[in-house]
Amino acid sequence: MSSSPFNVLFLCTGNSARSIMAEVTLNHLAADSQRFHAYSAGSFPKSEPNPLALALMAQQGISTVGVRSKRWDEFLADGAPPIHLVVTVCDAAAGEACPLYPGTPPKTHWGVPDPHTAAEFEQAYRALRQRIERFIALPIEALTRAELQQRANAIGRI
* Cα first-last separation, the chain: 28
Catalytic: which of 90, 112, 127, 132?
Answer: 90
Predicted confidence (pLDDT) at residue 2 exceeds the cutoff of 70: no
Q: Is 122 a known active-site residue?
A: no
Q: How confident is the model at residue 100 (pLDDT cuts 50, 70, 90)?
A: low
Give pLDDT tens digits for 141-151.
999 999 999 99
In a domain, 152, yes or no: yes
Q: How confident is the model at residue 37 (pLDDT cuts 50, 70, 90)?
A: very high
Could you tell me the CATH number of the domain that includes residue 89? 3.40.50.2300
Catalytic: which of 29, 52, 92, 98?
Answer: 98
Q: How confident is the model at residue 115 (pLDDT cuts 50, 70, 90)?
A: very high
Mean pLDDT for 60-83 is 94
Predicted confidence (pLDDT) at residue 94 exceeds the cutoff of 70: no
Mean pLDDT for 129-156 is 96
In a domain, 21, yes or no: yes
In a domain, 53, yes or no: yes
In a domain, 67, yes or no: yes
Position 148 scores a pLDDT of: 96
Mean pLDDT for 78-106 is 80
Domain residue limits at 10: 6-156
Catalytic: which of 8, 11, 12, 83?
Answer: 12
Q: How confident is the model at residue 104 (pLDDT cuts 50, 70, 90)?
A: confident
Give the chain's domain count: 1
In a domain, 1, yes or no: no
Q: How confident is the model at residue 93 (pLDDT cuts 50, 70, 90)?
A: low
Q: Is 51 a known active-site residue?
A: no
Q: How confident is the model at residue 1 (pLDDT cuts 50, 70, 90)?
A: very low
Q: Is 98 a known active-site residue?
A: yes
**Angle between helical axes of 118-136 and 145-156 (0-180°, round to 10):** 150
